[in-house]
C-alpha cells in the first residue's frame, strides 16, 4: 500500500482582510487550486488548505475541486483588523497534534508565519515558502524564515532574483512556479464586440490606490478629445473606499459619467472572459505586482495589455511592442492613443498575446512545477 503524504497549504490571514468571504476564498478558482486537485486525485497525496477566520469557531468548507478548507479563529479582536498581526492558537495546535509531511507557506510577513516556521523546524517537518508579494520587508526573522525553508517559490524570475539579492539565498533552493490560465475559458471571442464602434478600455482588479486606476480615468479626459465615445470599464472590489470616492469625484467633475463605467467584482469566469475579449486594450498601471494574472488572462483573450515599467512581475509577462506595451506613467495616455489609432498593429499584438499566454502560462504549469518540488523534498 502506498504511503499517503499529507501536505498543507497555509495562508496565515483571514480572507475578510482581502475583502473576500471565507466561502469565496474556498471557491476562488486558480491554477494553484487546480494543482492541489490534481495531487488529491492521486493515492499518494492528501492536500488541504488552512486559512484564518473572524468567526469564533473552527469551520470546514469543501471548496473548488472538492478541496478541503479549514478556517481557524483569530485570537483577539484588534488582530482581526490587522493583516500582519493575525494569530491563531487553533492552527498551531492542529499542526503540532497532527503533523503533516510538508507545509507550503503561502504568506510570510505575519508573526504567525514566523512561529509556524519555528514549530515546523522543531518537529522536523519541512516547509516551502511561497512569496507572492513583490516588495518584501527585510526583517531579520524573515531571513531565518527563508534560509530554513526547503525551497522558496516565486511566481517570476524577477522576484526570484530580488529575493536572492535581498536575503542572500541559495540559488539552488529557489524555484519559479508561475500561475497559469485556463485557456478553455479565457480565449478570444470575436463576437464579443458586437456592433460597437467606439474604443473600449478595461481594468480588472481591486480598487486600491497602488493600482493606478485614477491615472487611467485621467487618461480618458485626454483621450476623449480624439475619441468622444471612448469607454473605460473598471471591474473590481472597492477595497479602498476613500480612493473609490476620489475616482467618483473626478468622474463627476470632469463629466465622464458616460465614458467611465465601474462594475463590481465578477465571480463568473466566463463573464469575465467576455469582458476581456470585448475590450480593445487592457490597461493595468499598477505600481507593484508579483505576477499580474489579469494581464495573462487578458492576453489569453486576445486583448493586449498596457502596464508600467518597474511594476514587477508584469514586466516579465509582457513582451513590449509584441504582446502588449510597457510604458512610463507620463506616457500612459500616449501609449493608449498609439494602439487605438493602429488597428492592424493592435490586431497583430492581440494574436501574439494569445500565443504567448497559451505557450508560457497553460493551466497545468503550476502543477507540473509543484510536482517536481514535492518529489524532490518527499523522495
pLDDT digits (tens, 9 = 90+) for 6-33: 999 999 999 988 878 999 999 988 999 9
What is the reported pLDDT for 1? Answer: 44
Strand-by-strand arrangement of the 325-327 sheet: 260-263, 231-235, 200-204, 281-284, 305-308, 325-327
What is the reported pLDDT for 79? Answer: 55
Q: Where are the beta strands (DSSP E) in 238-291?
A: 260-263, 281-284
- CB 129 within 8 Å of CB 145: yes
What is the reported pLDDT for 77? Answer: 60
What is the reported pLDDT for 80? Answer: 60
What integer is the mean pLDDT of 257-273? Answer: 95
Phi, psi of 231 (to 5 degrees): -120, 140
Helices (H) and strands (E) in the chain, counts: 15, 14
Return d(Cα 206, Cα 234) in angstroms, integer: 9
Fold of 200-360: Rossmann fold (3.40.50)
What integer is the mean pLDDT of 287-300? Answer: 92
Q: Is the pLDDT of residue 78 over 60?
A: no
What is the reported pLDDT for 190? Answer: 80
What is the reported pLDDT for 193? Answer: 72
**pTM for this one?**
0.91
Q: How does pLDDT run across 157-191, given as a tens digit for each residue?
A: 988 998 898 889 999 999 999 999 999 999 999 88
Q: Which residues pair with 62 in a beta bridge?
A: 68
Q: Is the pLDDT of residue 346 over 60?
A: yes
Question: What DSSP letter does each residue of 200-251 carry, written as one string?
Answer: EEEEES---GGGTHHHHHHHHHHHTTT-TT-EEEEES----HHHHHHHHHHH
Q: Is the pLDDT of residue 35 over 60?
A: yes
Fold of 5-180+363-378: Rossmann fold (3.40.50)
Q: Where are the domains of the chain?
A: 5-180+363-378, 200-360
What integer is the mean pLDDT of 339-344? Answer: 96
Return d(Cα 208, Cα 356) in angstroms, integer: 28
In the chain, % of residues over pLDDT 70: 95
What is residue 5's three-state secondary structure?
A: strand
- CB 169 within 8 Å of CB 192: no
Q: Cα dihedral sign for 48, 46, 379, 34? A: negative
Amino acid at each position: 500500500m502506498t504511503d499517503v503524504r499529507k501536505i498543507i497549504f497555509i495562508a496565515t490571514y483571514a480572507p475578510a482582510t482581502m475583502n473576500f468571504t471565507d466561502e469565496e476564498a474556498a471557491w476562488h478558482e486558480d491554477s494553484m487550486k487546480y494543482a492541489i486537485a490534481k495531487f488529491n486525485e492521486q493515492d499518494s497525496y492528501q492536500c488541504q488548505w488552512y486559512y484564518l477566520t473572524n468567526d469564533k469557531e473552527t469551520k470546514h468548507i469543501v471548496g473548488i475541486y472538492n478541496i478541503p478548507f479549514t478556517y481557524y479563529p483569530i485570537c483577539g479582536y484588534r488582530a482581526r483588523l490587522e493583516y500582519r498581526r493575525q494569530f491563531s492558537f487553533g492552527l498551531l495546535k492542529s499542526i503540532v497534534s497532527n503533523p503533516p509531511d510538508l507545509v507550503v507557506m503561502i504568506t510570510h510577513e505575519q508573526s504567525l508565519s514566523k512561529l509556524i516556521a519555528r514549530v515546523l523546524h522543531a518537529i522536523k517537518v519541512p516547509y516551502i515558502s511561497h512569496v507572492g508579494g513583490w516588495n518584501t520587508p527585510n526583517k531579520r526573522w524573515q531571513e531565518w524564515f527563508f534560509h530554513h525553508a526547503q525551497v522558496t517559490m516565486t511566481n517570476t524570475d524577477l522576484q526570484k532574483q530580488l529575493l536572492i539579492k535581498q536575503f542572500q539565498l541559495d540559488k539552488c533552493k529557489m524555484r519559479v512556479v508561475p500561475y497559469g490560465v485556463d485557456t478553455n475559458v479565457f480565449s478570444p471571442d470575436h463576437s464579443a464586440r458586437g456592433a460597437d464602434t467606439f474604443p473600449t478600455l478595461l481594468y480588472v482588479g481591486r480598487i486600491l490606490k497602488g493600482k493606478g486606476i485614477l491615472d487611467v480615468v485621467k487618461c480618458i479626459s485626454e483621450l476623449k478629445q480624439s475619441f468622444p465615445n471612448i469607454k473605460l470599464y473598471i471591474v473590481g472590489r472597492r477595497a479602498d473606499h476613500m480612493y473609490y470616492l476620489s475616482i467618483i469625484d473626478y468622474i463627476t467633475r470632469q463629466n465622464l459619467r458616460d465614458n467611465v463605467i465601474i462594475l463590481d467584482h465578477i465571480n463568473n469566469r466566463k463573464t469575465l472572459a467576455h469582458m476581456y475579449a470585448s475590450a480593445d486594450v487592457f490597461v493595468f498601471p499598477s505600481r507593484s505586482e508579483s505576477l499580474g494574472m489579469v494581464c495573462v488572462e487578458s492576453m489569453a483573450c486576445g486583448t493586449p495589455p498596457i502596464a508600467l515599467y518597474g511594476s514587477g512581475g508584469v514586466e516579465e509577462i509582457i513582451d513590449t511592442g509584441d504582446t502588449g506595451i510597457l510604458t512610463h506613467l507620463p506616457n500612459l495616455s500616449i501609449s493608449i492613443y498609439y494602439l487605438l489609432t493602429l488597428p492592424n498593429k493592435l490586431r497583430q499584438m492581440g494574436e501574439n498575446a494569445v500565443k504567448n499566454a497559451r505557450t508560457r502560462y497553460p493551466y497545468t504549469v503550476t502543477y507540473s512545477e509543484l510536482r517536481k518540488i514535492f518529489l524532490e523534498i518527499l523522495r
